[in-house]
Structure 1
Amino acid sequence: MAARFPSAAIISAAEFRHFLSRYDSLIEAISSAKPAKSSQKSLRELDKFRYEEAVAAFQSENPKRPMTHDDVKTLVDWKLRHGKFRPTLMKLVSSNDGATVREVIHQAMKQYWANRNASEALGAIAKLKGIGPATASLLLSIHDPDHIIFFSDEAFWWLCCDGKKSPIKYNAKEYLELNKAAQSVIVRLQVKATDIEKVAYVLMRQESSNTTSVDEGGASPSQTNPAEIDSPKLLSKKRKDGFIDDEVTPEHVRRSKRR
């Protein structure tokens, strides 16, 4: 089915601002619809940490403080609640040594600010357990939100698939494709990479909720399609590029076999 909204290649600045303005209310609606447990932060709180508090702390070559293991776990929590839930991802990420996490990210960002090579920085961060190109791009984006886009499903579908929900392999090659498409929009519209993420999220979530047009109401999120999660195309132990894919978990494999 063809997308019923502007493609990333032709969206105007006015349209972009319109969809961006809908992001906060969409997150509020999702957060209210799925309240957090008493011991957890709500999606709205996690979203504020991801786009405001973390950026304020870590953006630029001279961050206010080093990114810690707890920061990474909070960002992974946001990723799981904001997109598809991966039942064992947090356990894998939590199994990293705290000092190692801090040092790996510090060295990766030192390398990034020296040469602005996103691929090299992603590869360095992805050495941590449970961290693949998608989560690595999230951590990198926190440090350079203006230029580095997070490898989310919604961003990839909008920027690289013209709104079609094609299977995603979550590898380094796909991230390069996503990053290239994002840079084109950044230059053409003079916007931030994180704003592109938000617009893509609004567009893809509204499309999923079967709205007849982007100007009608209905910003509530759709339910995840189980078949999409368990698709064999998404299952892999280790990618040829050397990354352990953080988008695939043993739980998915077990469910797929049972079915």
Structure 2
Amino acid sequence: MDFECSDPSVWKEALSHYTSRIQSLNKPNLVSLDDFYCNQLPPLLFQRNPNPYITVPELSKLMQWKLTRGKWRPRLLDFVSSLDESLVKSASQKAFQSLPDISKAVSELTVLKGVGPATASAVLAAFAPHITPFMSDEALEAALSNSKDYSLKQYLLFASKLQTKAKELSTDVDVFTPSDVERALWSFAVGNKSLAPKLNGDPKINPSKSSKRKRNK
């Protein structure tokens, strides 16, 4: 599935495999962490109206989800788990209130130690999936052909592309959010990686290669 594909059924098919792809990775606690991130965390945030915020335990669990679904970087989890509760509450309140200004929202969260634009995007996507997609390596590679740059500038470009794609794919019957687009891209990439060994280097399948990243996400 190419990012330029405009057939909603193709994207819907990729998205439909998201849960099974999560399960197929066989990573410790990933299924329960993904359920927390996708289904439990959003209502928890909205219950705190009129000034929603995230707590340190929730942010730590979100970080566990992000690192387990992607690349494991234990120091980031240590940083986040030791953050001051009042600081996290204040930063996340300001971030959520800043939307739809994505740049300001990300900047409010990245004052927290261990929280870069990618982690900030995960927090924002849990709160506003219709605006802010999670900045996963797989979706970044598909949308921008680059999974090494985790800067705010790169995220803004990434978010804009996924917002545009979501609008393009949405119909009267099916509405896609930028977060749906990210999950579809992730699901498709993970599926390709599992198929790659069986396809003997089929040129149509080009899973992104993992690479070392020195920068905190």
- Which bin holds the TM-score, normalised by the shorter protein? 0.7 to 0.9
Confirm or deny: 8 A CA contact 2:21 2:191 kept in the other structure. no
Could you say which residue in structure 2 is the equivalent of 1:246? Answer: 216
Rounded to whole Å, the distance in 1 between the matches of 2:47 and 2:126 is 9
Could you say which residue in structure 1 is the equivalent of 2:188? Answer: 203
Rounded to whole Å, the distance in 1 between the matches of 2:67 and 2:50 is 25
| Matching residue's letter, 1:197 | E
Rounded to whole Å, the distance in 1 between the matches of 2:147 and 2:8 is 29
Shift of 1:246: 2.4
Could you say which residue in structure 2 is the equivalent of 1:168? Answer: 148
Equivalent of 2:122, from 98, 123, 138? Answer: 138
Confirm or deny: 8 A CA contact 2:141 2:147 kept in the other structure. no
Equivalent of 1:96, from 73, 83, 98? Answer: 83
Rounded to whole Å, the distance in 2 between the matches of 1:16 and 1:61 is 33
Could you say which residue in structure 2 is the equivalent of 1:128? Answer: 112
Confirm or deny: 8 A CA contact 1:150 1:194 kept in the other structure. yes
Higher helix share: 2
Percentage of pairs with the same residue: 27
Equivalent of 1:151, from 135, 138, 151? Answer: 135
Please list every run of 5 or more consecutive structure 1 residues that lacks an aligned counterpart in the other structure: 1-5, 37-41, 214-221, 236-244, 248-259
Shift of 1:67: 1.5
The alignment partner of 2:122 has SS state of helix
Could you say which residue in structure 2 is the equivalent of 1:119? Answer: 103
Confirm or deny: 8 A CA contact 1:59 1:142 kept in the other structure. no
Give every structure 1 segment of 4 or more consecutive aligned residues whose post-TM-superposition deviation is greater than 6 Å. none
Rounded to whole Å, the distance in 2 between the matches of 1:144 and 1:61 is 14
Render the CA deviation track for 1:34-92: whole Å, top value 9, x for unaligned: 3x3xxxxx111110111111122225993696321111000000001000111211011
The alignment partner of 1:151 has SS state of coil
Rounded to whole Å, the distance in 2 between the matches of 1:62 and 1:82 is 29
Rounded to whole Å, the distance in 2 between the matches of 1:73 and 1:45 is 14
Taking structure 1 as the reference length, the TM-score comes to 0.72
Could you say which residue in structure 1 is the equivalent of 2:19? Answer: 24
Larger radius of gyration: 1
The alignment partner of 1:76 has SS state of helix
Number of positions where the alignment pairs a residue of Structure 1 with one of Structure 2: 203
**Is 1:68 matched with 2:55?**
yes
Confirm or deny: 8 A CA contact 1:55 1:145 kept in the other structure. no
Shift of 1:193: 1.9
Rounded to whole Å, the distance in 2 between the matches of 1:130 and 1:201 is 23
Rounded to whole Å, the distance in 1 between the matches of 2:51 and 2:95 is 17
The alignment partner of 1:88 has SS state of helix
Rounded to whole Å, the distance in 1 between the matches of 2:53 and 2:83 is 16
